[in-house]
């Protein structure tokens, strides 16, 4: 079964190259490609980062991993969730004050009270 990528999701592929303690993350291409992770190889890392294993020690080899950043749609959903949550918390915090102010403002002005003697 062939899976198609949604147009709304624009994941960008990155190649994570590490040698010992040295780690470099390289964007593979600014435009998402179908097989972008096939470019993420040891040769790709050593070509773009020739000093990757410098100071890492002897016998260290380059290891690679390809990953994709989340799409803009996913990021928008997270931001909308955070904004709605913040708005609900603000409403819960200020609601008692606003209701008290509203009740005082709407209190009838023709109420009678006894005067102290």
- Kindly state whether residues 54 and 26 are assigned to the same domain: yes
The boundaries of the domain holding residue 75 are 71-106
- Kindly state whether residues 54 and 43 are assigned to the same domain: yes
pTM for this structure? 0.51
- Distance in angstroms (rounded) separating the CA atoms of residues 77 and 45: 33
* Helices and strands: H and E segment counts in the chain: 2, 3
- Distance in angstroms (rounded) separating the CA atoms of residues 78 and 63: 32
Q: Tens digit of pLDDT for each residue in 45-90? A: 888 888 888 876 666 788 999 888 777 778 889 999 999 999 999 9
Domain count, the chain: 2
């Amino acid at each position: 079964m062939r899976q198609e990528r949604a147009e709304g999701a624009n994941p960008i592929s990155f190649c994570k190259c590490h040698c010992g303690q040295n780690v470099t993350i390289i964007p593979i291409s600014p435009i998402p490609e179908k097989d972008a992770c096939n470019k993420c190889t040891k040769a790709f890392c050593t070509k773009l980062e020739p000093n990757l294993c410098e100071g890492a020690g002897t016998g260290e080899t380059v290891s690679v991993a390809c990953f994709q950043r989340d799409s803009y749609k996913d990021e928008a959903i997270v931001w909308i969730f955070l904004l709605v949550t913040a708005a609900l918390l603000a409403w819960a915090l200020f609601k008692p004050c606003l209701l008290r102010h509203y009740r005082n403002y709407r209190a009838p002005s023709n109420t009678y009270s006894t005067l102290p003697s």
